[in-house]
Structure formats: structure tokens, C-alpha cells
Structure 1
């Protein structure tokens, strides 16, 4: 099964242990992997049961960054792909354990799938038996024990997929593109990798303790896992109400409350950060405006500060109403990839990213989340995430480069954004010695 957590407004409200009997829906050969997910879910017609959590079953997984090449062929695919993960991968989750950490209650959800010719009473009895089977499993003791946190963690050595000198030159070249009028901003990144000796679940436990975030997830697929603590929604659509929350503008956390407040004031007063943020809010408005009712798009929160374990960010919220003839899948296509992970204008920025990075980003910069049986969508941007594969961990981080970017500062920002996950990997390895 796959473990996924949702945290909202600083509280863990829902945590899902997902078992997908339908198996993996894996896209490798088709031109639009989301079309596969849409086709599969079109076969399900859910019954509305009041009082259940937001997600009661559906497709759960990720859309990788390279999906951009399917929907925008003018963006060249980088020549190298060292990760080898699929572009789109989802499981059909029809059995869920929903743990409400606030109320300390556990809800078992089993969807009884009724096909043509089935006897509903028989399907109901089978689903009820499955609930009883899950209860009996839960009553058994777990192999996992509480772990203690060491006072000090060893520094974990990570290798970047590009030399620092090349990274700095890319920032300088991006500024040339900006001065030539090609782009306003581009989001460059680098990927860190290291050998890791820890289970995906231990990495998840570690990152949840170090850097609790609005979207916590552990997705285990065949041959690789994704563990993430993303602060940023990609897009949400609930009862056709669309919500997107651009995050742009970063400072490290202060050593004490006074320093933290001083850093917040400095961040909000920084003209570069403010200009970059406003541009990305405009981009979010334009993106969802392509599939929302005319006049319904509105900025609800503008430039508030959100704090995480190692960094703070400027955040805004943009909302709109999905038009009647559009679907949540159209919403992903209209907003993909997030402006905060690409730049503006988006297509040209993506072309420059392919030129600079020379290798696919894999899951990083795409989105993780679900399409529910009832037509709702909730997904986060795949950042602050580790890809665990073949005994290695890959952690990628980027930043928005603009006309007055300082190359050394941009380099350091990617290091700061990676710190929480790198620390979590070291902590997870320490669990092995307990």
C-alpha cells in the first residue's frame, strides 16, 4: 500500500494508508498519460455518502515534469534521463484507511465496485467482509516501533548533478535572456544525490518530524518511491471551485523570534521578491483563467508569510469557477507545470530550462495528488521531495532567476531548500542503529 498525508492550515487532518486493488495505471507509450487516467476513472460512478472525508477513492499518484513535452511539443526533451521514472503513474485506490489525527479516529473505506450484471447485495457483503479483514489486520501488533531522535546527526554527503561553476554561468546566461527581452523569469534547479540506507517509510517518518508541511506523502511504486513534504498546492478543484496558491519569495528561518521577524520584514520589503511574486500571481490567474468562468478568477490572499522548518515563503491564493465544459484533467493541462517551477513566459522559460539542465527532472516540478471518483482534484507541486531508487536518494531544488538575481545567492537558495530533506535522510538512516 501507499501512505499519503494531507495537512491543512498547520494541522494534520487526514492521513491515508491507501491500498489500491485496481493496481498501477502506468503510462509509458501513450501521448497523454492523463487521458489514460481520465478514461479509467470514467468507468466509476460514486454514490455520495455524507460525513466521509474529502478523498474516498480514485486515482492517486504523480504527473512528472516531462508531461510538459506531451502538452507543449515545442519544449525540447532534454537528451539525458538518469532517473528512468514514468511520466505519469497512478494507482486506483478503492480501499482506504483514513486516520484523523485531530479527532484520533480511524475510518475504513472500501468501495464496492458494481459492474453490469453484478448483484449489489453480494458486492455489499464482499465489501463488508473486506472491512472486517482490515480490522483484524489492524488489531495485530505492528513491526514498527517508536524511535528516538539522536542529539546530533552526521553530515550526509550529497553530490550535485552539475558543477557549481556551470550553475552560476546558467544564472548569468538567464539574466542575458532577460535583458534581451526573451523572458521575465526562469526557474533553474540542481539535483543532489547520495547513497541511502533507509526504508521509504523511515524517510517519511523522519521528514514528517523535521519538516511538517501542507502536503506530506509517501508513494511506493515498483522499483522506486517518492517521499515528500511539499508546501505548495499545484491546483485544487472541489465541487468545480478552483484554488491555486503561488509560493515565491524565500528566506531562511531566524535563530530566534526577533531574527525571524526581521527576516520576514526584509523579505516583504524586497522589491525583487515582491515583483517576482506578483508576476507569478498574474501567471496563476492567467493559467486558471483558461478553464474558469470569465470574471470568476479572484485573488483571495495576497502576499502573506508562511513558515516551515528551515525557510519562510511569500504566499498568495487565487480562486475561480471551472467552466461547465472543462474537467479537472483540463485544469492540470492548463496549469502545468506550475509557474513557480518554470517561469514566465512559461513556454520560453521551459525551453531555456531544457537548454540549461540537459537532463530530465523526473517527478520533480510536476505534481502529486489525486483525482477522486466524484470528480474532485487535489495535488501539490513535487518539491521538497526525495526520489528513492536503487539504493540512492535524489533531492532536487530550484529558484526563480530574474534580472537582478545574484548567482551565488541563487545557488545558496537551492541548498537551503534541500536542507530539510537531506537532514531527514540522515535521520532515517540513524533509525537503523536503534
Structure 2
């Protein structure tokens, strides 16, 4: 019988940000447990005025996997190399994200009872992972994946809580915090030998001119178009080092994360956008839409802020996204509980500024987090409105494969608490490439060249940090 053990230690560096401590522990895990880190490596850090946490996981004890073949969706629970549970669902050709989440809601409910009864896993057990953005549903083979790690560490300002499955392959992990370094600055540089923009600037602008010609004047007509920059580098660089590079010198983002499965490509991000946070029945969403350049100089920063707050195009883009969240929450929340706590506040990240709203609600008793995701994803902040028409426009006018970019990363627990970042400000590490992504919301009054500049600004954490060297 697999046994889950728990040990709690004082945070060795309570004066440091939990994300820094979490990243240091993740680096230590890679050294102590290289085999487990190759199976799965997850780091998910979150900071807000109310809460800071960092969750680190290595190895795969249990894994929820999905596989799509044509109109068939298979979901299974793996226990190491053994299939413990499997279900097959028929896709009816509607919105793929909604269907996947709706079937996941049913499958995960079954797993909660199974894992509790057969393995005595507590409701606090964390599943780390995420889902891909299906801009091309016919090509999306593995929509969603979540892992219960062999070793998990949850870092707060006061404590480091370790959970681990006892076995010879998974020894006592308390040594991970012995003499934990305070400084985890990268020891190397991102040495870029070549850069490739997909698409190139002229092609991007011509494409947006055509798209804008298709849009109506109505405020609800919006679509998000993304692009990609590929950096070909000559560096011995780990995903955790790339994360520290992207996070260096920046005002704190909501989220910092690294995810990698089976030694494959790593996804690294510094997302400022909360897709959803769920604690018991309470849910919070924080849409970001509407962007202006940022600056480290106070006078310029204030000028850009005032421009953002008075720009009709940016306000229209934001209001479209916020209204869509509000309306979609009404299908899963008690109607009178939905409240907009903040409207068009400004989130200043230093390199860019965003308009931000905060909306809360109380879920109905029959709703779990995957029912909630089925209702709110994809949001207008990364997709557009109307949803079906936006999907068709993305397929016609976007030239990249998003993968996990604009999907979601985070965790949920067997007790159904959850916290998911919208996977923006995110890069993919593959071989000798770092692929950096960004998108912007296009409405009738958009200026194509300004959208190019906006997406360039959003890529700055990866393209223009103090460790990036262009040869």
C-alpha cells in the first residue's frame, strides 16, 4: 500500500519571498532527485496582498491524463505505470474546452472518492498541472494533465510542509532545506545566436489589417491574436534558471511557474493574470485586458497610466472581457452572490500596465472547479467574443500553435480548492530554443502597429532581461 507521509519545518528564510524559497527548493530537488525531476517537475508560486504560497513537486505518483482521438476523449488515472481508472467520452462537436472540462468534472469526482478510500489521501492533496489552449481542436491530442507528485513541498511565509510517498525510490526529503541558499540568481546567461519572429512584422500588420476589416463596430466584437518569437541560444540553461531571468528586476507578478513532464519541453511563466481562485464555495476571477507601456520613471509611468485610463479602445477591450466573466459566472454561482469588487483598476508591472477588474461569487453546491472552468474558459482576455466566431478568426489569422500558452497552469486539491493562472507571459523551452509568446485583443478601432508594439512589450521579461545576451 502506498503511504503518504507529512513533515513540517520552519521556513529557513522567512524574510524572503515564498517564490524565491520555492525556486531554491525546486533547484535542490533537481540535484537530490534527478530521476524524479525527469518524471515531473512542477513549481507554482502565487503572491497577493492576502496570501503567498509556493508549491513544488517532483516525480509522478498519480497522474490524470487525457487523450483525444477524433470525437473520442479518454481520461485515465495512472498510478506510476498502472492504469487505475479509465473512462471514455463522446465529444459532440461543440466547444472543445467546455466539453473537456465538463467530462473532467465527472471523472475527477469519481477519483476523489477512489483516492480517499483506497489510498487514504487527504482532501489537502495537491494535483499540479494544466491544460492546453485548443485553437485548432483537430490537432489537440492531450488537452489536460494533472500530477500528484511523489514529493510535494508547500511553502508559506512561516513553514515548509513536505508530503511524500514512502518508498526506497523516494527517501526522506527534509534535507532539501538544509543550508538552502538565499541567492538563486542564474549562474549563466541566455546567449542568443539568432532570433525569428513568427510572423514577421510586415506580415503581422498586413494580417491584422485584413482581420480588422472583418470586425464590426459593435463593442462585443473582439478577437485575440498571438505571435511568437523564437530565440536560438547557446546556453546550458535549466527551466528554473530561465524563470529567475524572466522574474529578475520586475515588479512581482501574481504567478511564477515551471512545468515539465517526462523530460519533455518545459513551460516557464510569470503570469500577472488570475484566471480563477476557489476556496470552498467562494470564487475570484481577475480579468486583465487593456494595456499600455510601463516605465521605471515615475513621470512616464504616470503618463502611461493616464493614457490607459482614457483610451477608448483599451476600455472597450477591458469591459468586453469583464462582462463576459460576469455573465459566465451567473451560470454556476448563486446569482445574488456575484459582485464586482474592482472595475478598471491599473496593475503596474513595470514593463507594462493593465486594466484589471475583480469579480467574486459563491458557487452553487453542485458545482466543482471543472464545472466552473467549463463556464469561464476560454475568457475574452485570451480568445475573444463571440466565442465560436473568435475561434474561427483565430484559425484564419493566427500563425502559431499555442500549446499551453493561454491555457492554464496551477493546482486543485482533492477537497476542490484551486488556483489557476492564465498562462500568459509564458515561454516554451525546447532543445536549443526558447519560444516566447504574446497576444493582444483586436477590435475595430485597433492600430496594427500599436498591437505589434504591445505584444513586444509583453515579451520583455524573456527578451530583454539582464541575463539575455544577443550575439
Q: Give TM class, smaller chain.
A: 0.7 to 0.9
5+ residue gaps, structure 1: 50-54, 69-75, 113-125
* Deviation of the 1:255 alpha carbon: 4.3
Task: Please state if 1:236 is matched with 2:277.
Answer: yes
Q: Which moved more, 1:190-199 or 1:11-20?
A: 11-20
Using the alignment, how far apart are the partners of 1:343 and 1:165 within structure 2? 23
Report 1:284-303 matches (<5 A): 284-303=325-344
Alignment counterpart, residue 143 of structure 2, candidates 87, 97, 103? 87
The aligned counterpart of 2:253 is 213
The equivalent residue for 2:199 is: 162
Worse-superposed segment, 178-187 or 365-374: 178-187
Contact 2:186 2:245 in 1 (8 A): no
Deviation of the 1:156 alpha carbon: 6.8
Q: Does 1:60 align with 2:97?
A: no
User: Secondary structure of the residue that 1:14 maps to in structure 2?
Assistant: strand
Cα shift at 1:200? 0.9
Contact 2:296 2:350 in 1 (8 A): no
Q: Aligned to 1:174, which of 178, 199, 211?
A: 211
**Aligned-partner Cα distance in 2 for 1:329–1:201:** 29
C-alpha displacement of 1:218: 0.9
> Matches of residues 24-423 of structure 1 in structure 2 within 5 Å?
24-29=63-68, 31=73, 34=101, 35=103, 38=108, 39-45=110-116, 56-66=124-134, 77=137, 86-93=142-149, 95-100=151-156, 102-103=157-158, 105-110=159-164, 133-139=172-178, 146-147=184-185, 157-179=194-216, 184-196=221-233, 197=235, 198-211=237-250, 212-222=252-262, 223-423=264-464
What is the aligned residue count? 393
Q: How far does residue 246 in structure 1 lie from its aligned partner after superposition?
A: 0.8
In structure 1, what is the Cα distance between the partners aligned to 2:148 and 2:186? 35
TM-score (norm 1): 0.80
In structure 2, the CA distance between the partners of 1:140 and 1:255, relative to structure 1 (3 Å rule), is closer
Change (3 A) 1:90 1:181: same
Q: Aligned ranges for residues 17-28 of structure 1 at < 5 Å? A: 17-28=56-67
Q: CA deviation at 1:368?
A: 0.6
CA change 1:391–1:56 in 2 (3 A) is farther
For 1:304 and 1:409, how far apart are their aligned partners in 2? 22
Query: CA deviation digits over 1:57-99, x for unaligned, max 9?
Result: 3221111001x7xxxxxxx647xx6xx9832122123642122
Separation of aligned partners in 1, 2:333 and 2:222 = 25
Q: How far off its partner does 1:210 sit?
A: 3.7
1:88-135 Cα deviation digits (max 9, x unpaired): 1221236421223x44x322234x7xxxxxxxxxxxxx59x9998111
Cα distance in 1 for partners of 2:310, 2:240 equals: 40
Structure with a larger share of its residues in strand: 2
> Which structure is higher in RCO with an 8 Å CA cutoff and minimum separation 6?
1
Q: CA deviation at 1:146?
A: 4.5
Alpha-carbon separation, structure 1, partners of 2:53 and 2:361: 25
**Residues 191 and 469, structure 2, Cα contact 8 Å, conserved in 1:** no
Listed one character per residue, the Cα deviations across residues 130-183 of structure 1 (whole Å, up to 9, x for unaligned) are: 9981114543788x9744789x98777431222323321232222222237696
- Whole-angstrom distance in 2 between the partners of 1:134 and 1:277: 45
User: Is the CA contact 1:370–1:377 (under 8 Å) kept in the aligned structure 2?
Assistant: yes
Q: Distance in 1 between matches of 2:185 and 2:400?
A: 38
TM-superposed deviation, 1:401: 0.8
- Give the unaligned 5+ runs of structure 2: 1-36, 74-98
